[in-house]
Structure 1
Amino acid sequence: MAFAVLGAVQITLIASITVITVALPAIQRDLRMDDAGMVLVTSAYGLAFGGLLLFGGRLSDSLGRRRVFVSGMAIFGLASAAAGLALWPGMLLIARCAQGIGAALAAPAAMALVSVVFPDPHRRGRAMALWGVLSSAGATAGTVLSGVVITWLPWRWVFLAPVVMSAVAVTAIARLFPADHPPVNRRIDWLGAVLATTGLAALSYGVQRSGWIFFGGVVLLVLFSLAERRSPAPLMPLPFLGGRALPLIAVTLCAGAMATAFFLLSLYLQQVRGLSPLQTSAAFLLPAPAIFASGPLAGRLITRLGTHRVLAIGLATAAAGLLLLSFLDVPYAGLLVFPFGAGLTFSAATLAATQDVRDDQTGLAGGLLNTAMEIGPPLGLAVLVSVATAYSHHPSSGDAFALRIAAAALLLTALLSAPKRRTT
């Protein structure tokens, strides 16, 4: 029961990124919003969510998982209600930012609570493998829900599910988990928190909107790494990355490839093939069985083959799926193969990133993993859409080339992830 609630929360938090995608034209008409306002509303949730995840993870370790989770979900639920009731653009923008703040507190704390549900390392490993596919399921659920709601109901109803999920989660978690023990260390690296938050937010926003803002984000993250070396209680101890760097890179690349592939395919199906928003949403239901099947399978494969070997298999399968998707006229085989490979990748990477983590660093591990997941889509969209445009002015040709470039990047990462054979 506890794991089901936590998993539903993770799906909801990720779905809230994409849940307004199909509803954007209706929102623009209703609130009389200009294009600049639409850009801000579209990115506000992701910027606040991605920028604050590291800080949210550290707060979870410092102040208590249940306390931070309940606080985050309460903020998320109230902000979702405010977004649904928004009467002017500024109100919706503030509500989406507040949603992201609540999500950044709740997501790493939820992942840390999984270790409380499954204290046995073997069962926890299988649970983490399943956890890895929940973000993919959330991204798909948000797109589908947006299309369904906007077909029959006003756009404001897209925020009902987050409100209900928040109320259920706050009530259930308060009953299912004991109160947190008094924190051993309340010291918080405020300088690191400011540098990491502003750096990640600038990086995510600048990669699509401004080269100067992107460069500023890079500078802030460099300053963050320097500050962490001198901090007595660092927000993210740099040695903690260690062997987790490659799994985190794999998550970033795969999340970026998935966001870009679904974005390009959504435009193609509606603008070239003439599908309605509802029909397009229905097409994105195809990956759901593959995504959910990949989690349990990854858990069994990891037991037999090892985490890094399954990570390499997942990346290679995802690369093959992108190649199939690049044939845009018949994308349906790719819609099955790519999400299956991505699910294996996310599951194996989640397990690799959370193995051998101290109890007081589980929130940090969750924050890092979610940050990698959030940075991937804006980076992938910015780079691959630019590649598609530069390659060809014909959308189908350029999009296919961009998907093949993404496939090559995943295949290269798969080769780097594969365990090296020992020579005697």
Structure 2
Amino acid sequence: MTATQADATTAKGREEPDGTPVRTTGSHRRPVRYGFALLGGMQMTLIFTLASLAVPLPRIGAELRLDRADLILLSAAYGLTFAGLLLLGGRLADRYGGRRILTTGLLVFGAASALAPLTPGYEALLAARFGQGVGAALVAPAAMALLRSLFPEPAAYGRAMATWGGLSVLGATAGNLLSGAIAAATSWRGTFAVPVAAALAALLLAPRLLPATPPERGRALDLPGALLATAGITLASLGLVLTDAHPWLSAPVLLPLLAGIALLAAFGVLERRTADPLLPPDFLRDGRRALGLAAIGLTAAGTATVFVLLSLSFQQGRGWDELRTSAAFVPFAAALLASGRLAGPLIGRYGPGRVTAAGLGTAAAGLGLLAATGLDDSVPYAYGLLPGLLLLPAGGALSFAGGAVLVTDGVPAHRAGLAGGVLNTAMELGPTVILAALLTLGGDPVSLAVAAALFAALAGVTIRARQPGRVSASGA
């Protein structure tokens, strides 16, 4: 079906998974758009929650009397369970239906978010962050499975994914901006009000705006594969996270890292022998899909690296408070929004591969400019840091959007949850793996310079790869 035919089909009407026809013209198009807004808002909230402790982390450490290792684990706890359970969350969404798993995940995510600000000490707060990650691992792939149901035609789905790709980096930016402002105005505990409110709103609106996707009873869950993948990803990620507080050859790093690698190797062997595997080997054999995942993981890592390094530089080096630190990222957010608005039309005209490559190249230039300053505290913000802080998000929005289209292009409806799980896993593991490696290279300028080189190299590989056909991606 061509883009024009698909758009014509959309104009006439469509069918929900249960066969019920739904008109999507005129005023009846609004529920679909509202459903997209609901799912997109939750995706942003999940990534907001990931980044929401970055700016107020020093205040949390002072209040709870935590050392550096405790703060690192507290910051990473949400992402550890989020990344570790995403593949299982994707299979559950495909097996039991997207809306059912979304609702379950929202209940877990919302409850953990509500308990977090009430916790009296470190251990309880850490458990709440782990709980948030469990809920998020159910919500994220279920949301993408529902997105596939909302936009069943390939052209419409391509437009939706072009917009969807930029939502995560926008959520991360919002997390850094709003968390500092909320913490300065109230307390770091106030930052948890955002995920609580979002989860409650989604629970109330989901039955009205989202289709009840039917379960696929014939599919197995592959529980052995799920256990190996979850334990392997979580342990390996934990080992990498702890490299910031411990040497690479120390027991706290090596034991979980090697155990995680061994479990992931066993997972790979098991998946090749399983009739209905959790992660089918052929899913990652598509070169364009692999490039899309690499672009998403690297872009997430690059933006996370800059947020971490600049947040520390602003507060510890320049002596800025949380509110001023958050304000410094406002131009970053503005460039991100502007570039995100352009991503869909550009993908429709030039194709996702070329747009992804252009985004990676632009982000590489931004990282290179930041590396050239060395993040020296004496460098003026306006003309020393601001150019890099504009180029990085401008390129990042394009690479996220193009990468998301590459990952989901041609994915059948019964694998929509799987695609969501894999995409979000790349988004979570990118900062964990690459950020941990970058921060051990011997200095902030070196870390940024290496990141810029990686972006430029992947841009070159992507532009030389076989390009998919253009998609109609002018908007969701």
TM bracket (short chain): over 0.9
Query: What does residue 449 of structure 2 align with?
Result: 404
Asked if the contact 1:259/1:380 (under 8 Å) is kept, the reply is: no
Q: Deviations over 1:230-265 (max 9, x none)?
A: 112200001011221121112111211111122112
Query: What does residue 72 of structure 1 align with?
Result: 105
Query: Which of residues 238, 241, 259 in structure 2 aligns to 1:205?
Result: 238
Query: Which of residues 26, 40, 45 in structure 1 aligns to 2:78?
Result: 45
Per the TM alignment, residue 34 of structure 1 is displaced from its structure 2 partner at its CA by: 5.0
Q: Deviations over 1:191-214 (max 9, x none)?
A: 110111111111211113213322
Query: What does residue 348 of structure 2 align with?
Result: 303
Query: What does residue 12 of structure 2 align with?
Result: none
Query: What does residue 331 of structure 1 align with?
Result: 385
Query: What does residue 142 of structure 2 align with?
Result: 109
Query: What does residue 337 of structure 2 align with?
Result: 292
Query: What does residue 158 of structure 2 align with?
Result: 125
- Rounded to whole Å, the distance in 2 between the matches of 1:270 and 1:96 is 24
Q: Is it true that 1:214 corresponds to 2:269 in the alignment?
A: no
Tell me the TM-score normalised to structure 2 length.
Answer: 0.83
Per the TM alignment, residue 177 of structure 1 is displaced from its structure 2 partner at its CA by: 2.0
Identify unmatched segments of 5+ residues in structure 2.
Answer: 1-33, 243-252, 468-476
Asked if the contact 1:126/1:296 (under 8 Å) is kept, the reply is: no
Query: What does residue 14 of structure 1 align with?
Result: 47
Asked if the contact 2:340/2:398 (under 8 Å) is kept, the reply is: yes
- Rounded to whole Å, the distance in 1 between the matches of 2:425 and 2:130 is 16
Matched to 1:408, the amino acid is A
Query: Which of residues 96, 108, 123 in structure 1 aligns to 2:129?
Result: 96
Alignment of 1:7-406 (within 5 A): 7-33=40-66, 35-209=68-242, 210-243=253-286, 244-326=289-371, 327=373, 328=375, 329=379, 330-387=384-441, 389=442, 398-406=443-451
- Rounded to whole Å, the distance in 1 between the matches of 2:285 and 2:432 is 25
**SS of residue paired to 1:116:** helix
Asked if the contact 1:133/1:347 (under 8 Å) is kept, the reply is: yes
Identify unmatched segments of 5+ residues in structure 1.
Answer: 390-397
Query: What does residue 415 of structure 1 align with?
Result: 460
**SS of residue paired to 2:439:** helix
Per the TM alignment, residue 33 of structure 1 is displaced from its structure 2 partner at its CA by: 4.4
Tell me the TM-score normalised to structure 1 length.
Answer: 0.93
Asked if the contact 1:192/1:235 (under 8 Å) is kept, the reply is: yes
Asked if the contact 1:192/1:227 (under 8 Å) is kept, the reply is: yes
Per the TM alignment, residue 36 of structure 1 is displaced from its structure 2 partner at its CA by: 4.4
Asked if the contact 2:117/2:192 (under 8 Å) is kept, the reply is: yes
Change (3 A) 1:400 1:34: closer
Matched to 1:128, the amino acid is M
Asked if the contact 1:130/1:347 (under 8 Å) is kept, the reply is: yes
Asked if the contact 1:318/1:337 (under 8 Å) is kept, the reply is: yes
- Rounded to whole Å, the distance in 1 between the matches of 2:465 and 2:93 is 36
Matched to 2:437, the amino acid is V
Change (3 A) 1:322 1:241: same
Asked if the contact 2:56/2:322 (under 8 Å) is kept, the reply is: no
Asked if the contact 2:219/2:276 (under 8 Å) is kept, the reply is: no
Matched to 1:16, the amino acid is T
- Rounded to whole Å, the distance in 1 between the matches of 2:227 and 2:461 is 33
Percent identity (aligned)? 47
Query: What does residue 246 of structure 2 align with?
Result: none
CA RMSD of aligned residues (A): 1.7
**SS of residue paired to 1:301:** helix
Matched to 1:382, the amino acid is A
Query: What does residue 29 of structure 2 align with?
Result: none
Per the TM alignment, residue 164 of structure 1 is displaced from its structure 2 partner at its CA by: 0.6
**SS of residue paired to 1:233:** coil
Q: Deviations over 1:141-163 (max 9, x none)?
A: 11112211121202221111111
Asked if the contact 2:360/2:455 (under 8 Å) is kept, the reply is: yes
Change (3 A) 1:114 1:264: same
Matched to 1:19, the amino acid is S
Matched to 2:462, the amino acid is S
Per the TM alignment, residue 364 of structure 1 is displaced from its structure 2 partner at its CA by: 0.4
Q: Deviations over 1:74-126 (max 9, x none)?
A: 11001100101112322212111111000000011112211222223222212
Matched to 1:122, the amino acid is A
- Rounded to whole Å, the distance in 2 between the matches of 1:212 and 1:129 is 40
Change (3 A) 1:36 1:128: same
Matched to 2:273, the amino acid is R
Matched to 1:415, the amino acid is G
- Rounded to whole Å, the distance in 2 between the matches of 1:375 and 1:199 is 12
**SS of residue paired to 1:331:** helix
- Rounded to whole Å, the distance in 1 between the matches of 2:347 and 2:211 is 31
Q: Deviations over 1:373-406 (max 9, x none)?
A: 001112222111111x2xxxxxxxx322221111
Instruction: Tell me how many residue pairs correspond in the alignment.
Output: 413
- Rounded to whole Å, the distance in 2 between the matches of 1:198 and 1:10 is 24
